[in-house]
């Protein structure tokens, strides 16, 4: 059975959203997705999957707070404590069982409500071996960036190219919070933070919500929808301990992509994929993830970035949405946003950032520092 | 360069301030007990050995990541390690400016799966990947049997 994305709903991503509660953000994204899909959530949707972590929300048992703002009261709901792309994989499988015909996936960030976001990320560090040392959790990203650049002989200048390209892309995305005409020199001159990372290598926080409506091919026909097909999904985790994981190669992304490519029958990703949206919440992650996804050879992504290969008019447009560097870090909504972007590109609905002729796209998620968990979805244009 | 600085402080608008208060103790487990007692009493590092895989794990644990065997044997870690990666942090754990900047390193040991993340007791200029280091432990009377019994890694005497 084929499963497709038949509705996309996004709020604007903004550094703060003082006029809306987090529930109202979800309501807005859901209303947009249902309008896009032409579905009534009270009648047409069989299952609702939300993706959230109690700590980011500020209260316990998040899933109990879900139903009403999604039109899901008295309906099957569940919460995945992970990135929205992991929720997409769950909804995909629910439909594959034949039990559910239409499923909704939601993820959001109201990080501006969190007064101590770094403290929450710090709680992800091992409480016995790592956290007592008292380091900023982005130290993990600094260590990994240094290991990646060294292992792959990637020059720091390649990071300048990533940031400049991606934040400029965001200028064409009306929902992006951090679009800016940043030059490579600006990036290189920005303040040192967690060397080799500088302030502009690090995505800034944003609020926002993303809702996707998924349907079986039969339900999609019945609803007269124009689906983008989910050809493959995959997810994986590297060793959870900082000490035993792979510091250079994003093993979690390689394994997740392998699973998704097997399902999608993608054998040569570098020639079969037309657009890629990969996690770039730190600039080096874009390069590391492209290599892990088989879209560049190990050590080649940085050189390709410097040649402009990942620009809108390059060999493989990457993070045309503006990525997280340009759109903002929307935490658990990050991967679902990228799936939404790929879906819009494959539908031809990406506005002034549309990539002509895009038929196959990949979206990849990572659960941010200090995790080594990722998910991948391969999407294909209809019919 | 415009649009680079944005307000993320929602406290300036109508809101209710609250927190999620929660306090814990984190038990270090069987392997942690062995490690931290040896660190406190003898000032040395222990790894857990999987004889089936021929792997010594640091930090030690009682299960092998590769074969899922239960691990019961603990072996000493070589005294000298090597900086696998390092970062100079200009922000402290709260995000405030760190002055002077802090140097953090991930250190690996020959023949050991894993390693340890800790402070590198060297100036940013003197710190480089590949440098040989050993742990500096606090004086015996100051040790409590936690990771903080280690002050950090200092450059090995042979390379000073
Ligand atoms: Zn073993």
Q: pLDDT tens digits, residue range A195-236? A: 999 999 999 999 999 999 999 999 999 999 999 999 999 999
Q: Is B41 on the interface with A (CB under 8 A)?
A: no
Instruction: Evaluate if residue B6 carries a pLDDT over 80.
Output: no
In a domain, B33, yes or no: yes
State the Cα–Cα distance between residues A304 and A152, nearest whole angstrom: 13
Fold of A3-116+206-228: Peroxisomal Thiolase; Chain A, domain 1 (3.40.47)
Quick one: average pLDDT of A58-65? Answer: 92
Instruction: Evaluate if residue A133 carries a pLDDT over 60.
Output: yes
B24:A132 CB<8 A: no
Please, are residues A122 and A137 in contact by the beta-carbon 8 Å criterion? yes
State the Cα–Cα distance between residues A362 and A343, nearest whole angstrom: 10
Q: Where are the beta strands (DSSP E) in chain A?
A: 3-10, 47-51, 77-80, 102-109, 192-194, 197-198, 208-216, 228-237, 275-277, 360-366, 373-380
B92:A19 CB<8 A: no
Quick one: average pLDDT of A255-265? Answer: 98
pLDDT tens per residue across span A85-125: 999 999 999 999 999 999 999 999 999 999 999 999 999 99
When mean pLDDT is compared across B53-67, B87-101, B146-160, the lowest value belongs to B146-160
A16:B115 CB<8 A: no
pTM here is: 0.96
A135:B59 CB<8 A: no
pLDDT tens per residue across span A293-341: 999 999 999 999 999 999 999 999 999 999 999 999 999 999 999 999 9
A-chain residue closest to B86, CA distance: A143
- Tell me how many domains chain B contains: 1
User: What pLDDT, on the 0 to 100 scale, is given for residue B160?
Assistant: 43
* Chain B contact probe: residue of A14, A24, A241, A288 with most B CBs at under 10 A: A241
Quick one: average pLDDT of B69-93? Answer: 97
Cβ–Cβ pairs < 8 A, chains A and B: 148
Q: Is B66 on the interface with A (CB under 8 A)?
A: no
Q: How many CA atoms lie within 13 A of A146 on its CB side?
A: 25
State the Cα–Cα distance between residues A286 and A305, nearest whole angstrom: 10
B91:A55 CB<8 A: no
Task: Tell me the residue range of the domain where B134 lies.
Answer: 29-155
Short-list A46, A24, A10, A20, CA closest to A222: A46
User: What pLDDT, on the 0 to 100 scale, is given for residue A361?
Assistant: 98
Residues of B in contact with A196 (CB under 8 A): 87
Q: How many CA atoms lie within 13 A of B56 on its CB side?
A: 15
Here the ipTM equals 0.95
In a domain, B47, yes or no: yes
Please, are residues A355 and A343 in contact by the beta-carbon 8 Å criterion? no
Instruction: Evaluate if residue A13 carries a pLDDT over 70.
Output: yes
Residues of A in contact with B85 (CB under 8 A): 143-144, 146-147, 150, 247
Of B13, B28, B87, which is closest to A143 when you measure between CB atoms?
B87
Of B4, B86, B95, which is closest to A136 when you measure between CB atoms?
B95
Fold of A137-205+231-380: Peroxisomal Thiolase; Chain A, domain 1 (3.40.47)
Q: Is B158 on the interface with A (CB under 8 A)?
A: no
Quick one: average pLDDT of A245-250? Answer: 94
Give the model's confidence band at B1: pLDDT under 50 very low, under 70 low, under 90 confident, else very high.
very low
User: What pLDDT, on the 0 to 100 scale, is given for residue B17?
Assistant: 86
B26 CA to chain A: closest CA distance, Å?
7
Instruction: Evaluate if residue B3 carries a pLDDT over 60.
Output: no
User: What pLDDT, on the 0 to 100 scale, is given for residue A382?
Assistant: 84
Q: Is B10 on the interface with A (CB under 8 A)?
A: yes
DSSP conformation letters of A274-343: SEEE---SBHHHHHHHHHHTTSS-TTTHHHHHHTTTTSTTSSS-B-TT-HHHHH-B-GGGHHHHHHHHHH
State the Cα–Cα distance between residues B64 and B58, nearest whole angstrom: 11
Token reading at A130: 């790592």
User: What pLDDT, on the 0 to 100 scale, is given for residue B51?
Assistant: 97
- Integer distance in angstroms from the first to the last C-alpha of chain B? 45
A118:B94 CB<8 A: yes
B-chain residue closest to A207, CA distance: B8
Of B8, B86, B146, which is closest to A132 when you measure between CB atoms?
B146
Short-list A63, A47, A50, CA closest to A96: A47
Helix or strand (DSSP H, E) at B135: strand B132-137
Give the model's confidence band at B159: pLDDT under 50 very low, under 70 low, under 90 confident, else very high.
very low
B85:A134 CB<8 A: no
B57:A244 CB<8 A: yes
Of B9, B86, B148, which is closest to A146 when you measure between CB atoms?
B86
B129:A146 CB<8 A: yes
Residues of B in contact with A176 (CB under 8 A): none
In a domain, B160, yes or no: no
B85:A196 CB<8 A: no
User: For the domain that residue B129 is a member of, what is the CATH number?
Assistant: 2.40.50.140
Provide the residue ranges of all domains of chain A, joining segments of one domain with +: 3-116+206-228, 137-205+231-380
Rg (CA), chain A: 19
Q: Is B160 on the interface with A (CB under 8 A)?
A: no
Quick one: average pLDDT of B70-88? Answer: 98
Percent of chain A with pLDDT over 90: 97
State the Cα–Cα distance between residues A165 and A305, nearest whole angstrom: 9
Short-list A152, A324, A133, A159, CA closest to A248: A152
B-chain residue closest to A21, CA distance: B15
Strand order in the sheet with B113-114: B73-76, B46-50, B55-58, B113-114
Helix and strand totals (H; E) in chain B: 1, 9
Please, are residues B94 and B52 in contact by the beta-carbon 8 Å criterion? no
Q: What is the mean pLDDT of chain A?
A: 97
Token reading at A326: 């340009």
pLDDT tens per residue across span A136-181: 999 999 999 999 999 999 999 999 999 999 999 999 999 999 999 9
* Domains A3-116+206-228 and A137-205+231-380 belong to one CATH topology: yes
Sign of CA dihedral B138, A194, A109, A360: negative
B124 CA to chain A: closest CA distance, Å?
10
In a domain, B143, yes or no: yes
State the Cα–Cα distance between residues B155 and B160, nearest whole angstrom: 7
Ligand 1 center from residue B130 Cα (angstroms): 28
State the Cα–Cα distance between residues A163 and A248, nearest whole angstrom: 20
User: What pLDDT, on the 0 to 100 scale, is given for residue B14?
Assistant: 74
């Amino acid at each position: 059975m084929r499963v497709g994305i038949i509705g996309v709903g996004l709020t604007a991503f903004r550094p703060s959203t003082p006029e809306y509660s987090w529930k109202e953000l979800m309501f807005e994204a859901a209303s947009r997705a249902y309008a896009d899909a032409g579905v009534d959530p009270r009648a047409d949707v069989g299952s609702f999957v939300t993706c959230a972590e109690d700590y980011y929300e500020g209260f316990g048992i998040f899933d109990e707070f879900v139903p009403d703002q999604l039109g899901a009261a008295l309906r099957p709901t569940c919460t995945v404590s992970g990135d929205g792309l992991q929720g997409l994989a769950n909804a995909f499988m629910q439909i594959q069982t034949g039990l559910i015909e239409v499923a909704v996936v939601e993820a959001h960030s109201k990080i501006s409500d969190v007064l101590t976001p770094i403290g929450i990320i710090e709680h992800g560090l091992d409480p016995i071996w790592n956290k007592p040392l008292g380091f900023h959790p982005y130290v993990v990203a600094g260590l990994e960036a240094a290991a990646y650049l060294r292992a792959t002989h990637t020059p720091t200048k390649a990071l300048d190219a990533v940031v400049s390209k991606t934040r400029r892309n965001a200028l064409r995305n009306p929902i992006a919070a951090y679009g800016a005409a940043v030059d490579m020199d600006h990036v290189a001159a920005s303040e040192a933070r967690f060397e080799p990372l500088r302030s502009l290598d690090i995505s800034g926080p944003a609020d926002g919500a993303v809702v996707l409506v998924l349907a079986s091919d039969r339900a999609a026909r019945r609803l007269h929808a124009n689906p983008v097909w989910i050809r493959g999904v995959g997810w994986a985790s590297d060793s959870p301990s900082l000490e035993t994981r792979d510091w250079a190669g994003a093993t979690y992304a390689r394994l997740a992509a392998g699973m998704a490519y097997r399902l999608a029958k993608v054998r040569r990703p570098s020639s079969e994929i037309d657009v890629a949206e990969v996690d770039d919440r730190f600039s080096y992650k874009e390069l590391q993830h492209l290599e892990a996804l088989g879209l560049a050879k190990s050590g080649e992504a940085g050189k390709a970035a410097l040649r402009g290969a990942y620009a809108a008019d390059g060999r493989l447009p990457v993070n045309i949405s503006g990525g997280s560097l340009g759109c903002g870090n929307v935490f658990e909504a990050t991967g679902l946003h990228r799936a939404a972007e790929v879906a819009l590109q494959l539908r031809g609905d990406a506005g002034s950032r549309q990539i002509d002729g895009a038929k196959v796209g990949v979206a990849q998620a990572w659960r941010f520092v200090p995790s080594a968990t990722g998910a991948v979805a391969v999407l294909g244009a209809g019919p | 360069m415009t649009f680079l600085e944005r307000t993320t402080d929602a406290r300036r608008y109508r809101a209710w301030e609250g927190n999620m208060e929660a306090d814990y103790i984190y038990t270090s487990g069987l392997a942690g007990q062995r490690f931290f007692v040896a660190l406190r009493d003898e000032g040395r590092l222990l790894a857990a050995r999987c004889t089936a895989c021929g792997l010594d794990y640091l930090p030690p644990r009682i299960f092998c990541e590769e074969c899922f065997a239960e691990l019961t044997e603990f072996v000493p870690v070589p005294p000298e390690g090597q900086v696998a990666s390092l970062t100079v942090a200009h922000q402290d754990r709260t995000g405030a400016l760190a002055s002077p900047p802090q140097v953090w390193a991930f250190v690996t040991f020959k023949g050991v799966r894993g390693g340890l993340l800790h402070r590198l007791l060297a100036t940013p200029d003197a710190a480089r990947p590949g440098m040989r280091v050993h742990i500096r432990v606090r004086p015996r009377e100051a040790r409590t049997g936690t990771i903080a019994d280690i002050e950090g890694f200092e450059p090995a005497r042979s390379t000073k």
